[in-house]
Amino acid sequence: MTNTLKAKMVVDKDFAISEVDSRIYGSFIEHLGRAVYGGVYEPDHPLADENGFRKDVIELVKELNVPIIRYPGGNMVSGYNWEDGVGPRAERPRRLELAWKTIETNEIGTNEFVDWAKKVNSEVMMAINLGTRGIDAARNLLEYCNHPGGTYWSDLRKQHGYKEPHKIKTWCLGNEMDGPWQIGHKTAEEYGRLAVETAKAMKWVDPTIELVACGSSNTSMPTFPQWEATTLEHTYEAADYISLHQYYGNRNDDTASYLAYSLDMDHFIKTIISTCDYIKAKKRSKKTMNLSFDEWNVWFHSNEADKQIEPWSIAPPQLEDIYNFEDALLVGSMLMTMLKHADRVKMACMAQLVNVIAPIMTNNNGGAWKQTIFYPYQHVSLYGRGIALQPVISSPKYDSKEFTDVPYLDSIAVHNPEKEELTIFALNRSLEDSLTLECDVRSFSDYQIIEHIVLENENLKAVNTLESQAVAPHNKGKAVLEAGSVVAPLSKHSWNVIRLGLKNS
């Protein structure tokens, strides 16, 4: 017999954290594994369009409403020559791709990816190579993409069939340059100098762009967070964001700790914010540095399989994590964590989008399906637009092997004034007990409950396949509105989306 836990929460439309930047629901496509070849692009597939893009994948991506997609890497970008991926396909070279030990055919490059991004209604976040290359290649790529015409690189784009500039706004100054695994790995001092000089040249080419400086690859790096401090000493006035990367996995099969990893993510974000603000104070700057959490997800299931891959093959299955139900719960919690910092986290990219640690999976020449993590990502992307509200939560807590004082309730609310909607996202972390949420919403007295979506499964290890969606949401939740409070039973280890809207007059 299970007990029922009780938690209280207050949501008020005046408790605003910030307007949510829609780019917080971004994603990532790297030339890695089957993300591009066999994922977004498979010209021989029966559902391929005239450009070779899989129409079934396009439709699934559109269901997620992804506003921005980072490209083309990732580790791959630190050895990438962007010129290899433009112009006539027959003339494009095949290259050894050193980051993932494969062969890159360059069938897809900058222009094709821009075409695909338009099909899924997304902007492109372009990453530049600051590993083997630098200022010259970066300014040339930017000129190729964004300059209207009348110069060598912009006219070359026109020769390649793209008369109008791509107008790519957001650019990453390299990738994970603190990591020894990175081609062209640098110290913070080396990176900071190169990044600021590259940023300067790029903004001379196009002053309208926004730039993301590399932060630490993860919180366990020995240079964290001094890397950020040193990097920002150089780039603070030139860059607009600093990046964060973090992946989690239930490696010890300790679900109680696993579902608390969002607390670690929260601490990571707070550490970077304080580091940014320290440099702001030190430089006596009036500018506030915002954050781009441009790699985040669960990643550990495929680690052993990836060790077996034959080197120098073309688009082998790599990083193909098959996600289970508990992974979806943590993904929901990670999304809520970023929303709680919506005043500073302005962009984020779930890494990645198709086949490679992804919410969408495909079979070559076959079907496509939604992984378990697809659903919380979709819910927050669709209903988490508007103003993030600071929740006041009183919840019972638990201790795990890795964490103490973990609230059973993890929750955030987002108010969309344009649609006159309020959405409460709520996770019950308890592995044994249901939880009754009592949420005071008196400042929304003219609202009523639209629906209560629930993602639940008795089996924490349940997975989805092409044939069976074992983990899928339903809207049979039993949230009710009583005397200015939402009262909602949250089943054990469940993800909940409680939507309220303006009453019909």
DSSP single-letter state for residue 504? P
Distance from chain centroid for Cα 301: 19
CA distance 258 to 261: 5
* DSSP for 144-159, written as a single string: HHH--SSSHHHHHHHH
3-state SS track over 71-134: ECCCHHHHHCCHHHHCCCHHHCCCEEECCCCEEECCCCCHHHHHHHHHHCCCEEEEECCCCCCC
CA distance 304 to 67: 33
Q: Which residues are catalytic?
A: 176, 295
Locate 495 and state its tokens.
């993800």
Locate 385 and state its tokens.
């637009």
CA torsion 351-356-357-362 (nearest 10°) is 120
Query: 345-351 and 392-394: which strand pairing?
Result: unpaired
Query: 170-173 and 210-213: which strand pairing?
Result: parallel
CA distance 188 to 174: 13
CA atoms lying within 13 Å on the CB side of residue 93 = 8
CA distance 311 to 372: 30
